[in-house]
Structure 1
């Protein structure tokens, strides 16, 4: 069974955030477990191009990737348009990631022409929040470029929340649930430091303004507590810094920029908790990454993390400053040793080694239908 992953951008295009890492780790682990998979993508990396060999397959951690050169960054690749058909023709199953990106309708048309089976990942693009901007164009895109092929498409959702979003638009969709994950090792005990953490790009969708407003109230009861927000600026750092300054908390709230590797692990491991006040998340990989370090999580009810409260690994909160404040203070007042152990135990269920096996099972089911 030969699988081709068609995706607009791929590792090391890390400017696009968590979804790039999720696609990379899943592909790498599946390849290590024996899946014959190749990646067809572009050399786009935000406003720049990757400095990498393009238009031919290159080896990457046990599998092959072809980075088609984009003549117009983020908008179009003629090499992909005219070269994709050869690779699709020789594959058995296509896994397409991203809905509102030009490689997807091109690949869907070729899959229809060559009678190939398709697994399509929406990656959060069908959430209600995503339709708040450009909704008319997105509806036109769906009707003209996606719906004509849906009868031959199997869908991939990373959570039950995302599955319901797919079903709202495509009631007859056959949806497979495959979560994102992380690598979970033995729990490393460490003395917690006096800060709460947030991790993710500084974008309005992440709801950090709500977290800062809640921290204003928390600071009155816990004056020595700090808030550390890690992530690259994606358009709202200045506004967030002004909000912090207006509340007189510049010595207590810090924006530490992007963190990765061991630095990210330590950042999460030393925190008293991770707070994820997002307006929407199809999955929210940072929740798993924090729990893998034995750190409880407070996630908004706009994320699919109800299970953290069920398993006593954190709290699932309404997404407003008052309720976030109550959840954070509740956790701070507790002896959280049990919650730390529960968080680590829950994270094990999202280990990439397990997720990759499920991924292969889904592909085999599709192939054999």
Structure 2
């Protein structure tokens, strides 16, 4: 019989490399295993495509009702539900990631039944902008099951102060551990060119249209710079952005599909500037990635990156084209040597405060507290 890990990360899927949890959940489990914590990742997949490092139990469960379109979107899996019940009965700490799908409900049911600790990371899914998409379905899900599931939580995990506020805004009163995502420091030295890069999912909530509008206003002043927009398109976002570029006559705008692995890190290293123009992010992993690659960043205040200014590696500005225009002008006017120095300061910041070993250690303290084996960690807000 398979021995269940004592700490289980439960997530609907880690198969999409463009999805933040595919990286952050996987690396958290791996870092915990490297510290000697018995750790596993359980998710849905017919055939798992994402491997994990030694020491992490990777187990997948087949989705059910795949032939029924309405129900298949909820990602039912009786096999996962049964396995979680067994694991909780054996005393495992269950750490769920994300909301609104059945794999996000099963851990609460198992934890409630057996009285075991339950940690939930909403992963940005309680933010106002996230709630606005498919809002009717989410309201129904909240009323029928999601709220009750979250009321079983021993401790929430928020990746920023802003996400803590999102949790409290939903009337949820359980303690919250505020621990950021970690980041791996990219190999290779930055080799900045004259490219303004946006990389990530192309989705309306990302505010890319505001970046395009701002670029159209400043591009003529910086004729040797280009705007590069990289990532998988969702709900026709790329087509809408391409139409906007044509309508505004914005010059030197390139669109590329998703990049992974070495190609993604090369894009970061070779960019002269990274921009996250988002409406709302609980963390904004792409900012951490860009900084880890040695690239300075402009982020809107929709993401919790006010440290860009105190670390002198970027700009933190209001959402929208009006605020983005002066930020772009300022960033693109910085001499190349100073932009390189900014990027290196950002990379040092990531190595110092966002290393995975440090993040794993802090989360282990939260688990021990949830088990009643340690005092409340400083990162936990009650």
TM-score where L is the length of structure 2: 0.87
- Determine if the alignment matches structure 1 residue 227 to structure 2 residue 241: no
- Determine if the alignment matches structure 1 residue 160 to structure 2 residue 161: yes
Report the counterpart of residue 46 of structure 1 in structure 2: none
Determine if contact 1:6/1:96 at 8 Å carries over to the other structure: yes
Can you give the 5+ residue segments of structure 1 that lack an aligned partner in the other structure? 44-48
1:139, 1:4 → 2: CA distance? 28
* Matching residue within 362, 366, 369 for 2:370: 366
**RMSD between aligned residues:** 2.2
CA change 1:284–1:90 in 2 (3 A) is: same
Could you report, residue by residue, the CA deviation over 1:169-216 in whole angstroms, capped at 9, with x for unpaired residues?
A: 1352200012112112677243x2111111101111111111111111
1:88, 1:8 → 2: CA distance? 18
CA change 1:242–1:50 in 2 (3 A) is: farther
1:182, 1:162 → 2: CA distance? 19
Determine if contact 1:3/1:91 at 8 Å carries over to the other structure: no
- Determine if the alignment matches structure 1 residue 181 to structure 2 residue 182: yes
Taking the TM superposition and a 5 Å limit, the aligned residue runs for 1:45-124 are 49-50=46-47, 61-71=54-64, 72=66, 73-74=72-73, 75-124=75-124
2:29, 2:122 → 1: CA distance? 17
Report the counterpart of residue 11 of structure 2 in structure 1: 7
How many pairs align?
Answer: 356
Determine if contact 1:208/1:277 at 8 Å carries over to the other structure: yes
Structure 1, 86-95 or 309-318: larger mean CA deviation: 86-95
Structure 1, 299-308 or 177-186: larger mean CA deviation: 177-186
* Matching residue within 33, 37, 40 for 1:38: 40
Partner-residue secondary structure (3-state), 1:14: coil
1:7, 1:326 → 2: CA distance? 40
Report the counterpart of residue 197 of structure 1 in structure 2: 197
Determine if contact 2:108/2:152 at 8 Å carries over to the other structure: no
Report the counterpart of residue 69 of structure 2 in structure 1: none
Could you report, residue by residue, the CA deviation over 1:100-125 in whole angstroms, capped at 9, with x for unpaired residues?
A: 11122222112111111100111111
Determine if contact 1:41/1:66 at 8 Å carries over to the other structure: yes
Determine if contact 1:205/1:280 at 8 Å carries over to the other structure: yes
Report the counterpart of residue 359 of structure 2 in structure 1: 355
Q: CA deviation at 1:129?
A: 0.9
1:152, 1:194 → 2: CA distance? 47
Can you give the 5+ residue segments of structure 2 that lack an aligned partner in the other structure? 67-71, 374-382
Determine if contact 2:126/2:167 at 8 Å carries over to the other structure: yes
1:300, 1:121 → 2: CA distance? 23
Q: CA deviation at 1:59?
A: 7.5
Determine if contact 2:8/2:41 at 8 Å carries over to the other structure: yes
Structure 1, 345-354 or 115-124: larger mean CA deviation: 345-354
2:347, 2:102 → 1: CA distance? 39
1:86, 1:329 → 2: CA distance? 57
